Structure 1
Amino acid sequence: MPHPEPARSREQRKQGVLVRLEKDTDAWVSTASADGAPTLVPLWFVWDGEALLMATRRTNPTAVNLTPAGRAHIALGHTRDVVMIEATAEVVEGTDLPTAAGDAFAAKFSWDLRGRPGWVYLRFTPHAIRAWRESNEQPDRDLMTDGRWLV
């Protein structure tokens, strides 16, 4: 099947990823329990230039799964314009969240959880990012490895 558009360069894809991180509001977050049971949930996020900040109840499987290993996969976009992120995560109490991060989350979503019992923030730091649209962008889809941009 012919590709509708030529493949974007890695530089163009990185710029597309940065726009998504800045402008998108939702991401799919995948984690696994200690015994391997997967969980996939949509969460709102704010990008601070280094990490994605999300929030959930402390008792939700996503937060529970992050406690021992701190690993997650995050997906942005749809199947024909996808950004896949492998990240390490930390659970942050609202009282421990830097003011600027909490303010950014509250401003973007009109929802401030910093003083709300039972809720925590999740800070995901990417260590690998891949982006592609069609099969012609499969080569060179790696844009970040080991936490460093390749372009």
Structure 2
Amino acid sequence: MTEPDPARSREQRKQDVLNRLRRDEDAWVATASPDGVPTLVPLSFLWDGDTGTLVMSTRRTNPTAVNLTSGGPIRITAGPTRDVVLIEGEARLVEGTDLPAATGDAFSAKLRWDPRNSSSWVFLHITPHTVRTWREVNELADRDLMLDGTWLV
């Protein structure tokens, strides 16, 4: 069994998280119904570094959107199992016509599709409250990078 790489500093892990959010296109999104029925789906995303939010889109009738209309929390995971980024936050539904044009244009350019013109789709505007990241057990102790919406580094 090989030894894990040395633990990264919190500063390095924050930079790695921000790089992943800018570069990656897809993440796993978890919500739950008011009855506690979980839903886990992959969705494409845009990281809006100016506002520190994630933007995703899904059909308004999909369980993910329906769960959020009832005020449920949201969890997002990005990266492979040996380089986890776990984000917990709150999401609000935004109609395509209400999405700022610059955000919609950036979403469309990054992901090569534009759901703004269909009434079947809504956007999820996600504000992170907690961000955790780790690769191996040696990074678990300092995995919290954001708490209560504030970066710790």
Whether TM-score is above 0.5 comes out as yes
Instruction: Give the match for residue 9 of structure 1.
Output: 9
What is the total number of aligned residue pairs between the two structures? 151
Counterpart selection for 2:78 from 71, 76, 79 = 76
Q: Deviations over 1:16-58 (max 9, x none)?
A: 0000010000000000000000000000000001111000000
What aligned pairs does 1:35-114 form with structure 2 within 5 A after superposition? Answer: 35-49=35-49, 50-114=52-116
Q: Deviations over 1:93-150 (max 9, x none)?
A: 0000001110001111221111112110111110000000000000110000010000
Q: Percent identity over the alignment? A: 66
Q: Deviations over 1:35-83 (max 9, x none)?
A: 0000000000000011110000000000000111141000000110000
Match for 1:103: what amino acid?
Answer: D
Tell me if structure 1 keeps the 8 A contact 2:33–2:72: no
Tell me if structure 2 keeps the 8 A contact 1:84–1:131: yes
Tell me if structure 1 keeps the 8 A contact 2:89–2:126: yes
Tell me if structure 2 keeps the 8 A contact 1:87–1:127: yes
Instruction: Give the match for residue 25 of structure 1.
Output: 25
TM-score (norm 1): 0.97
Instruction: Give the match for residue 148 of structure 2.
Output: 146
Q: Which whole-Å CA distance do the structure 1 matches of 2:119 and 2:141 have between them?
A: 46
Residue ranges of structure 2 left out of the alignment (5+ in a row): none
TM-score (norm 2): 0.96
Match for 2:5: what amino acid?
Answer: E
Match for 1:14: what amino acid?
Answer: K
Q: Which whole-Å CA distance do the structure 2 matches of 1:109 and 1:144 have between them?
A: 26
Match for 2:21: what amino acid?
Answer: L
